[in-house]
Amino acid sequence: MILHPATRLGRQLAGAVLFAVLLLSATGARARPVCMIVAATDGAILHEDGDCRSRVTPASTFKIALSLMGFDSGFLKGPHDPVLPYRKGDPAWGGKSWTRPNDPESWLRHSVVWYSQRITHALGADALTRYATAFGYGNADLRGDPGKDNGLERAWIASSLQISPLEQVLFLGRLVERRLTVAASAIDRTEAIVETRTVGAWTIWGKTGSAYPRLADGSFDRARAWGWYVGWARRDGRTLVFARLDRDESRQPVSSGLRARDALLAGWEELAGSLPD
């Protein structure tokens, strides 16, 4: 469908105004919008607002890529295999869901850090780097903090691994179109465990991510958390990929990633309706 220039401009302006309204209503003074980007699965950008080209930590959105790696390597076998136990000393700040046995489905649903660490240790740094490079996943740097040898523990959490919102949607487009160099079954099984939401006639698959940036002394800036929500949406045979990134301006009781997710879902139908066909 070829749109008249005035129609295209009108849609673009409507999308920009909608984005601004949603940011004010959904995040208020708690968070500063960084980027909202929506693309077709072939990489064509349909909506881009804010700084979508600068790289930051992927935080738990990396779990989508890590799931593909885990299933492709054979370490992960199905939504409930393997079941792995919590061990004393594992990260436990996520509450009761983190201190009990978890499987791939509950790992992704509850964003269990120690389960990610089991996968990264099973694969090793070299394999992780090869996968991330092949995926075009940001800077593909899994080394971790300089001099700490902790890449397998936290490279994706406010550390060496960095990705931009634009790179997120390009990666997700390759996933949805099955252009990644992994087994088809790895994509099938990953899609099966990513959380889904229904918004009107749209089905939305998405993953949140939250992380505190580092200060100059290496400590965490707990007042300025990054909040991600990335994924893909389908309706009537059409698939779109998206990434939303926010940054808090003060410390908040609710995860920045959950708030980014809720804000995107609240405005998704109107935003999607403003996009070109």
pLDDT in tens, 144-162: 999 999 999 999 999 999 9
* pTM of structure: 0.89
Estimate the crossing angle of helix 256-273 against helix 5-27, to 10 degrees. 150
pLDDT recorded at residue 197? 98
Domain total in the chain: 1
Q: What is the pLDDT of residues 25-65, one digit of tens each?
A: 444 447 789 999 999 999 999 999 999 999 999 999 999 99
- Give 55: exposed, middle or buried? Use CB within 10 Å, 0-12, 13-18, 19+: middle
Unique residue bearing structure tokens 């492709």:
72
Whole-angstrom distance, CA of residue 233 vs CA of residue 242 = 8
Q: Give the CATH number, domain containing residue 119.
A: 3.40.710.10
pLDDT recorded at residue 240? 99
**Better-scored residue on pLDDT, 22 or 137:** 137
Q: Which residues pair with 226 in a beta bridge?
A: 211, 247
Which residues form the catalytic set? Answer: 60
Q: What DSSP string describes 173-198?
A: HHHHTT-SSS-HHHHHHHHHHS-EEE
Unique residue bearing structure tokens 């936290």:
154
Range of the domain at 174: 5-273
pLDDT recorded at residue 11? 52
